Structure formats: structure tokens, C-alpha cells
Amino acid sequence: MTGLDRIVENALLEDIHTGDITTLAVVPEPRAAHARLIAKEAMVLAGIDVAARVFHLLDNTVLFTPAFRDGDRLQPGDVLAGVDGNAAILLQGERVALNLLQRMCGVATLTSRYVTAVEGTKARVVDTRKTTPGLRMLDKYAVRVGGGINHRTGLYDGVLIKENHIAAAGGITEAIRRARAYIPHTMKIEIETESLAEVGEALAADADIIMLDNMDLATMAEAVRLIDGRALVEASGGVNLDTIRAIAGTGVDIISVGALTHSARAMDISMLLEGV
């Protein structure tokens, strides 16, 4: 079973469980139907194949015909896709398909706004691990569709030494030393800093990426000057659409934005059934 199928099947089980009582009562006999997925507001499309997979896992004879591709910009009234199959199947898959599609479009749309906000600077917009439990794969895919870049996927594929790690290890230098001794030579070490003194210590310990956590603009700019290209510089904390342009202006390389996935609003998409 693929990761996507596991996500979709869990969502279908959560919604349908032992049976769709309403559909079983109201639409007991098989009958052909056609449905349209319609955008109700402007958005960046993400997850069209995920929506298709919902219906195909319920019934692989369902015909799902997309009219747009992920990354396309939609306007109100655009028909994303047509869906043809047994009416009962379309009704059972409707909410799960829309829930996943609406969330993914929301993440992609919000990410696109952040990426647009830093155009013309060298800063790259990246996501965080602040994703919806169980949906990280979809959240991070939607970030890429919106023009953002993925940070580490989870705790297993990147070293990010944070405040509590530093406290547990006894300091920045010791935490970096332990990490360097543990990981393969192909992996980079990132460390969180909260002051210029900590930035200096991280530099002396040869950190590959230095995160500036919740620093004001003047301190960030001074940290970038101090680092002087000897490590990648990431800004984090307090980032929103009103502040990101100024943060990018300090010269940082990366800006991590938890809001891309923890605060994205689901886009308004509806499914209309016809031809029953």
C-alpha cells in the first residue's frame, strides 16, 4: 500500500466506517451519475490526483476527468474535474475528496503568497514540521506546488538542534560535536540560535546551517554579516505576510514559515451531482 493510499483509506474508514447510512437508504440501487468539482474562489490547485484516488479506491470503474493540473491558478466558477460513476460511490467519496483537495489547495495558495512576497530577494520560503498529523506527505507536496521548498520531512532525515537539545547536551558546542560524531558525512547540521553570541559559538563549532530564532531585523542583519557566507542562514519565528519581505531584506538564505501548513485556510470547492 502506498503512503497516499494509506491516507485515503484511513480517511474513508473514518467517514464511512460500517456504511453510509444516508446513501444506503436514499440511493439503494445502482444508477449512473455525473458530478462536477467547482472552484468557488481564486486558488492554486493542488491535490487533483488525490481527489481522483479517493473515488478510485471506492470503485476503480469511476471515471475521473481533470480539467486542470496541480499548480494551475483557478478562478471562481472553474470546473476542476468531472466525475462519472455510480451515484452512491460519488456520494460516499465526496466529503473525503473535498476535504483533502480543499486543504491542499489552501496550503498551495498560501505558500504562493509568501513566495510572491519575497520575489527579487535571495531568500527561499520553506515549510516546517507543523503539519496536520497523518497528512504531512500531502501538506509538504502542496507547499512545493505553491512554489515553496520542503525543510526536513521528519526527525529521521535531518539534524536540527533546537533549544531543548542544546540544554540537554550542555551547550551549543557539545551538541554540534555529538551530532557530527553520530551522523554520516553526507548530512548537514543545523542549529537554532537566539543571540549573536550563540551565532558566534555555532560558527566556531562549524554548523552548516544557523537558524536565527525570533531575532529582530537589526540583529538578523548583524548575524548575516557575522556569518558572512560561512554557513547558510535561516530565519524563523514571527514570520507572516506582513513581515516576510523585511526579513528577506536582511540577507538570510532561508525563511521557514510554520503558517504555510498550520494556518492555511481550506479553499472553497464544491461538488455538484447531476444526471442521476
**Contact assessment for residue 110 and residue 143, using Cβ atoms and an 8 Å cutoff:** no
**pTM, rounded to two decimals:** 0.96
Buried (b) or exposed (e) across 112-143, using 16+ Cβ within 10 A?
A: bebbebbeebebbbbbbbebeeebbbbbbbbb
Within 10 A of 45 (CB to CB), how many other CB atoms are there? Answer: 27
d(C-alpha 196, C-alpha 188), whole Å: 21
d(C-alpha 105, C-alpha 117), whole Å: 18
pLDDT of residue 275: 65
Low-confidence ranges of the chain (pLDDT < 70): 1, 275-276
pLDDT of residue 274: 86
Name the nearest CA neighbour of 14 among 154, 133, 139, 143: 133
Beta bridge pairs of residue 227: none
pLDDT of residue 1: 58
pLDDT of residue 2: 84
d(C-alpha 233, C-alpha 119), whole Å: 18
CATH 3.90.1170.20 domain range(s) in the chain: 3-114+264-274
The CATH number for 118-262, chosen from 3.20.20.70, 3.40.190.10, 3.40.50.2300, 3.30.420.40, is 3.20.20.70
The CATH number for 3-114+264-274, chosen from 3.30.565.10, 3.30.420.40, 3.90.1170.20, 3.40.718.10, is 3.90.1170.20
CA angle 18, 20, 24 (to 5 degrees): 115
CATH 3.20.20.70 domain range(s) in the chain: 118-262
- In this structure, the chain runs to a length of 276
Residues acting as catalytic residues: 95, 130, 162, 192, 213
Could you give the strand order of the β-sheet that contains 209-213, starting from the edge strand earlier in sequence? Answer: 124-126, 254-256, 232-236, 209-213, 189-193, 159-161
Q: Tens of pLDDT along 70-113?
A: 999 999 999 999 999 999 999 999 999 999 999 999 999 999 99
d(C-alpha 221, C-alpha 51), whole Å: 44
pLDDT of residue 276: 61
